[in-house]
């Protein structure tokens, strides 16, 4: 089974902080990246951006602009949802990857992570989607799983899709079981049913959103 860390790549070496802005400018015009990792003595010190490069003096070195570098990265132990969040929060098409000792391992490309996302059982396997809501202090992931499984359902995945100080929404995908029985049990436990999808419309919408994210970050 493919793991997300299998997508760590080193197709292009990190930028040396002693390289000139002119050299980095040429790199960005050859590659479709919004950011690229910068290394100093093989240690990751941040990402330089295409937008910044356009404003820098070409004869200066990258090290002259260290204060502009963006320090985001992913750990090689992160799950794919956390990695996707790093991409989204930083509006980037590339995320450097470090191990637990902060050694630079390479980088993830957004296109590869979206591809991995589409291959997860949550999107790939047929099933039903239920979105439930409950006060933050009252909901329980273990209770949600128990409700599904006690009605002969099989969980393909669940995640917190929205939350605030008062309430939390949980999106649940179920591959087997009687949806109506599951929904009624959620109601008995005082979960509000926000939506239910017996078809793949929700999944298609989720895929479209991930494709949109891909296109947005590639603008």
Interatomic CA distance for residues 141 and 163, integer angstroms: 14
Nearest to 117 by CA among 93, 89, 90, 82: 82
Q: What is the DSSP letter of 76?
A: T
Q: At what angle do helices 110-118 and 80-90 cross, to 10 degrees?
A: 140
Could you tell me whether strands 128-135 and 104-109 are parallel, antiparallel, or unpaired per DSSP bridges? unpaired
Do 179 and 129 contact (CB within 8 A), yes or no? Answer: no
Residue tagged 């204060």 (tokens)? 67
The tokens describing 110, both together, are: 């957004």
How many folded domains does the chain comprise?
A: 2
Higher-scoring residue by pLDDT: 175, 144: 144
Least confident stretch, 20-34, 82-96, 123-137: 123-137
Interatomic CA distance for residues 203 and 205, integer angstroms: 5
pLDDT > 80? residue 149: yes
Domain boundaries, position 175 = 127-199
Q: Which residues on neighbouring strands pair with residue 170, listed in sequence order?
A: 132, 160
The tokens describing 113, both together, are: 């992570």
The tokens describing 152, both together, are: 């002969």
Is residue 212 in a domain?
no
pLDDT band at 218 (very low <50, low <70, confident <90, very high): low
C-alpha to C-alpha distances, 141 to 34, 63, 145, 160, nearest whole angstrom: 37, 47, 6, 10
CATH number of residue 23's parent domain: 3.10.580.10
Confidence at residue 213, expressed as pLDDT on a 0 to 100 scale? 58
Q: What is the pLDDT of residues 165-189, one digit of tens each?
A: 899 999 888 876 678 888 889 999 9
CATH number of residue 133's parent domain: 3.30.70.260
Interatomic CA distance for residues 140 and 148, integer angstroms: 13
The tokens describing 102, both together, are: 């902060």
Mean model confidence pLDDT for the chain: 85
Q: What is the pLDDT of residues 36-48, one digit of tens each?
A: 999 998 899 999 9
pLDDT > 90? residue 160: no
**Same-domain status, 21 and 96:** yes
pLDDT > 70 in the chain, percent: 86
**Same-domain status, 72 and 134:** no
Interatomic CA distance for residues 119 and 164, integer angstroms: 30
pLDDT > 70? residue 203: no
**Same-domain status, 110 and 151:** no
Do 97 and 107 contact (CB within 8 A), yes or no? Answer: yes
Interatomic CA distance for residues 11 and 216, integer angstroms: 23
């Amino acid at each position: 089974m493919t793991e997300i860390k299998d997508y760590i790549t080193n197709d292009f070496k990190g930028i040396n902080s002693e390289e000139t802005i002119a050299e980095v400018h040429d790199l960005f015009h050859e590659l479709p990246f919004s950011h690229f990792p910068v290394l100093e003595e093989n240690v990751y010190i941040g990402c330089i951006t295409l937008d910044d490069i356009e404003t820098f003096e070409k004869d200066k070195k990258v090290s002259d602009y260290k204060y502009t570098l963006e320090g985001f990265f992913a750990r090689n132990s992160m799950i794919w949802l956390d990695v996707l969040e790093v991409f989204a929060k930083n509006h980037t098409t590339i995320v450097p990857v470090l191990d637990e000792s902060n050694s630079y391992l390479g980088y993830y490309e957004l296109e590869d992570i979206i591809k991995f996302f589409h291959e997860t059982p949550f999107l790939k396997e047929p099933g039903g989607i239920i979105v439930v809501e409950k006060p933050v202090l009252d909901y329980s992931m273990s209770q949600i799983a128990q409700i599904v499984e006690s009605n002969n359902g099989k969980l393909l995945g669940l995640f917190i899709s929205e939350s605030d100080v008062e309430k939390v929404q949980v999106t649940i995908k179920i591959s087997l079981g009687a949806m109506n029985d599951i929904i009624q049990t959620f109601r008995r436990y005082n979960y509000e049913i926000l939506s239910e999808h017996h078809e793949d419309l929700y999944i298609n919408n989720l895929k479209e959103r991930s494709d949109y994210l891909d296109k947005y970050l590639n603008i």
